[in-house]
Structure 1
């Protein structure tokens, strides 16, 4: 597994940010057609400290991106977690796998990911921002201004 961490840096030597990316292979669990392998990766960016991003290959250079809470991913490694569009849980068949269910208006994908790879990714993210310390990175005044201005 290749993993990289970009050290804090910023223009003019100002406050920077860090990111990590962890590539991994996922198994799509299909009731009708069996299983298929999909490449993808998880990424974490301290500029958005509460979230993780999951990218799943749709083609050679085309990825589908899902954004969800880092805490949801961490909880899903221990027990069933999530409601609605994203659900994560340990596999009942293989303790080395984590099942990720993603639901959109276009359908549902059920993927299996290696627990060890997800553990390593979360450890990398925790080195950047320890779980529970995310609030320290947010500029609450700027966030409030963005919300009041109608920005996302």
Structure 2
């Protein structure tokens, strides 16, 4: 059985002053890291940002607002489309503010990606090899 899921989506980045512009979002899931989804955002062959998201949080964000820190998700409706609004807060800028990005993804596409991950590792069946993790951490100290 395949332990990886990858899906590339066209999402929209909300750019200040210009509105929404299309970028690619490469979503990745690896059963060896069962709680995480990697999201790499790219445009014109350049990586704009890479985030590790909590898989359960991503799922919960499709039905209601979640997150209070650097990542905040919530459902959004634009015309006939159901979207997932993803807000990312990054490093502090020289002016004291924080870098901030808002991305809109088609909710059905994100839900389809999550269903594929659930076929590999069902929710609640995630396991982390804690002993091996502790051994690795202690051996590098």
**Scaled by the length of structure 1, what TM-score is found?**
0.80
Which residue in the other structure is 1:96 paired with? 82
Which residue in the other structure is 1:109 paired with? 101
Q: Which has the higher contact order (CA 8 A, sep 6+)?
A: 2
Q: Kindly report the root-mean-square deviation, in angstroms, between the aligned alpha carbons of the 2 structures.
A: 1.8
Question: Which consecutive aligned stretches of 4+ in structure 1 deviate over 6 angstroms post-superposition?
Answer: none
**Scaled by the length of structure 2, what TM-score is found?**
0.86
Which residue in the other structure is 1:140 paired with? 130
- Which of 109, 112, 115 aligns to 1:120? It is 112
How far apart in 2 are the matches of 1:49 and 1:98? 21
**Cα deviation 1:52-107 (Å, max 9, x = unaligned):** 00010043153521002101101101100011110110015455111000110151
Q: How many residue pairs are counted as aligned between the two chains? A: 134
Tell me, which stretches of 5 or more residues in structure 1 are unaligned? 1-6, 9-17
Residue 68 of structure 2 aligns to a residue in which SS? coil
Which residue in the other structure is 1:38 paired with? 23
How far apart in 2 are the matches of 1:111 and 1:125? 22
**Cα deviation 1:109-142 (Å, max 9, x = unaligned):** 101000010000000000110011112xx22210
Greater strand share, structure number: 2
Tell me, which stretches of 5 or more residues in structure 2 are unaligned? 94-98
How far apart in 2 are the matches of 1:63 and 1:45? 22
Alignment of 1:54-65 (within 5 A): 54-62=39-47, 64-65=49-50
How far apart in 2 are the matches of 1:150 and 1:91? 44
